Structure 1
């Protein structure tokens, strides 16, 4: 059995969406051994920072919140698809020659995984690609970008997936992961009313 940690490290200097300062996490020590016998900290961070899961509320008024996500979809067999040849976006043409079956959880490995700084031209899943995955009846889609879509005024990719009850994970780290089948574990925090949550995502290769 081999475990791949496919989560971003949480640090103030990490890559954040569009390099927005307000998205940078802050870890503050509230108690340490100079003042007592314990060490404690407070973290402040945007729920969409780093590796995270979106809930429908993020894009849909009245949508379900992260505490209501179906956990049966977060510990599941998955397929990593190598689509590193995509130059702008992942579309139907990049997916139709892949082995995608009903009930699959798909992780998209793009050239994003090989970039260390935020690129405004990051590879995303376009509307056509999202519609294709919807038609294939997948249960989830993850991508190695801090957004699954880019420059879509109507948020078509999010809406296409969310309306089909397809889980979305963003901010994966897939540089060292080869195309193939794995077991995915990506549990969100149980944040009541939250529209997203950080996840510690791992892939397991081989038997548990």
Structure 2
């Protein structure tokens, strides 16, 4: 059984939202004799992370309401590397997406190692299609599942229908097929997101 780590490494100088210097993680290390301790300061949406509804809906559910069981699950990886702008209903309609699926969207984002203002995202009609299909969750290989959409309808429509959003995946080396996913978030309480280590397992059912 082969394992793939599809998480982003976290370090100063990594790709961050809008390439903002203020979004860069910082590490303050102190050593006394042989004991070293490091303090880290970073945004919860840094690198690979999972969003909770509070991220885009005021007074909505916080991170601890997401059942861990929904993050340890079979997943389907779909190759959408030919999409140039945003993923639409038409891009998704021919794919084998069924009720209760957890899907990961592999795009050209996985082949870019720095912030890109024009990253491929999930458009509103694509999100609505996934809502209609009643999936459990969707992951994408960029730091945000949408851009340039007033009111953030992709996030909001997914959240309102209990669809989990995972962002910041790295899928360059991942073939489009089924895997078993373990997405292990930090056990945070009262937040709108949590960083996560996400692993895929190949041939887990053999």
TM-score by length of 2: 0.97
From 151, 155, 179, the equivalent of 2:152 is: 155
Gaps of 5+ in 2: none
User: Aligned pair 1:4/2:1, yes or no?
Assistant: no
Shift, 1:37, TM fit: 3.2
| Contact 2:73–2:180, Cα closer than 8 Å, also in 1 | yes
Deviating 4+ runs (over 3 angstroms): none
Aligned ranges 1:1-208 → 2 under 5 Å: 1-30=1-30, 32=31, 35-207=32-204
C-alpha distance in 2 between matches for 1:196 and 1:188: 9
Residues 57-92 of structure 1, C-alpha deviations (whole Å, 9 max, x = no match): 000111111122111111000000001111100111
Which secondary structure does the structure 1 equivalent of 2:162 belong to?
coil
| Contact 2:64–2:189, Cα closer than 8 Å, also in 1 | yes
Q: Decide which structure has greater strand share.
A: 2
| Contact 2:179–2:204, Cα closer than 8 Å, also in 1 | no
Shift, 1:106, TM fit: 0.6
Residues 83-123 of structure 1, C-alpha deviations (whole Å, 9 max, x = no match): 11111001111111111111110100000000111110000
Residues 125-148 of structure 1, C-alpha deviations (whole Å, 9 max, x = no match): 000000001111110000001100
Gaps of 5+ in 1: none
Shift, 1:22, TM fit: 1.3
C-alpha distance in 2 between matches for 1:61 and 1:122: 26
C-alpha distance in 1 between matches for 2:110 and 2:94: 22
| Contact 2:50–2:194, Cα closer than 8 Å, also in 1 | yes
TM-score by length of 1: 0.96
Shift, 1:206, TM fit: 1.3
Which secondary structure does the structure 2 equivalent of 1:39 belong to?
strand
Residues 20-71 of structure 1, C-alpha deviations (whole Å, 9 max, x = no match): 11111011113x2xx2332221111000010000000000111111122111
C-alpha distance in 1 between matches for 2:35 and 2:76: 43
Aligned length: 205
C-alpha distance in 1 between matches for 2:12 and 2:199: 22
Deviates more, 1:187-196 or 1:120-129: 187-196
